Amino acid sequence: MKLLVGYIATSGGEDAVALGACLARTFDAELEICIVIPPEPPGADDAVEKLSDALDHAARKWLDEAASRLPDDIESTTTIAEHPNPAEGLIIEARRISADILVIGGAGGGILGRHTLGTDVNDILHSSPIPVAVAPPGFAHLGADEVREITVTIGDRPGAPLLFQTAIRSGIRAHRPIRLVSLLALGDMQPWRNAPEDAAVEKASEHAQKALEAARAELPEDFPVTSTVVQGDTIEEAIASLEWHDGDIVMVGSSRLASPGTLFLGATAAKILRAVSVPIIVVPKGSD
């Protein structure tokens, strides 16, 4: 398993490296830290060449500093990629090394522990072909050393089976408990629907039970897996009502608007991202 950490010499970059170390330790994965810098323009004069050389030197220094902050038990490689678009450059590098997860940090500057997205992060979350793990602000200082439990939001939209299978494989590889969660936002239910709220709750409970049975059928015997339905007036209230601990991560799927095999952060996932203070892994849409 390979993890690619997109790094920049900011607090968000430090958060990404810390989350990369946490995931690498949990999943026994290889770790690569990458900085994307703009390529030297063709026909550059001496001044531009000197500026490009200085940027390359600074990038190597930043990478060395990032690697030096990793715990002793985490080995890593570092790479400088050249591309005019940082988001696209990271995705190209992820493809090149066949990375399984792309790890990034938020933009920083938000409320401690709450995810905030910059332009490059937002671009990645709407185009990546592989799962993307986003570190919340402050993870470098407050984050756990290992994953404790994997929470996965379950639904019945097209492509949801890939999210389910990704969570199952992750739980087995890491030997970590899996918590299946069905979110019910009662305030978002259209008023013209004929189904009453209790019918919606019952349907969500049935779906959660079916998901639990499907998980138990694929997991080893006695593997720790649970399912629950949480409700609130909004998605944010529902997800916030769950009990969270250090070391928890949450997996969510992509929007129905995503192309098969591509990640596209949808409205529900974006609400979850804003409401939780744990790392979030967004999984691309499946083909079914």
Q: Kindly state the average pLDDT of the residues 218-247.
A: 92
What does the pLDDT read at residue 134? 95
Which pLDDT belongs to residue 187?
A: 73
Q: Across the beta sheet with 149-153, what order do the strands follow?
A: 76-82, 30-37, 2-6, 101-105, 132-135, 280-282, 248-252, 149-153, 178-185, 225-232
Q: What is the mean pLDDT of the chain?
A: 87
Percent of the chain with pLDDT over 90: 56
Together in a domain, 160 and 221: yes
Q: Which of 89, 110, 142 is the last residue of a domain?
A: 142
Domain membership flag for residue 287 = no
Final residue in a domain of this structure, among 117, 142, 167: 142
Residue 268: which pLDDT band, with cuts at 50, 70 and 90?
A: confident
Residue 220 pLDDT class (50, 70, 90 cuts)? very high
Q: How many helices (H) and strands (E) does the chain have?
A: 9, 10
Domain that residue 63 falls in: 2-142
What confidence tens digit (pLDDT) does each residue in 177-196 have? 999 999 888 776 555 455 55
| Predicted pLDDT of residue 111 | 39
Where a domain ends, among 142, 166, 182? 142
Give residue 268's Cα distance to chain centre.
Answer: 14
pLDDT in tens, 13-35: 999 999 999 999 999 999 999 99
Q: Are residues 103 and 190 in the same domain?
A: no
Distance CA 111, CA 125 (A): 20
* Contact yes or no for 113/138 (Cβ under 8 A): yes
pLDDT score for 121? 86
Q: How far apart are CA 174 and CA 23, in angstroms?
A: 9
Q: pTM of the entire structure?
A: 0.90
Q: What is the mean pLDDT of residues 121-148?
A: 93
Interatomic CA distance for residues 207 and 230, integer angstroms? 13
Q: Which residues, 6 or more positions from 52, have their beta carbon under 8 angstroms from its beta carbon? A: 40, 44
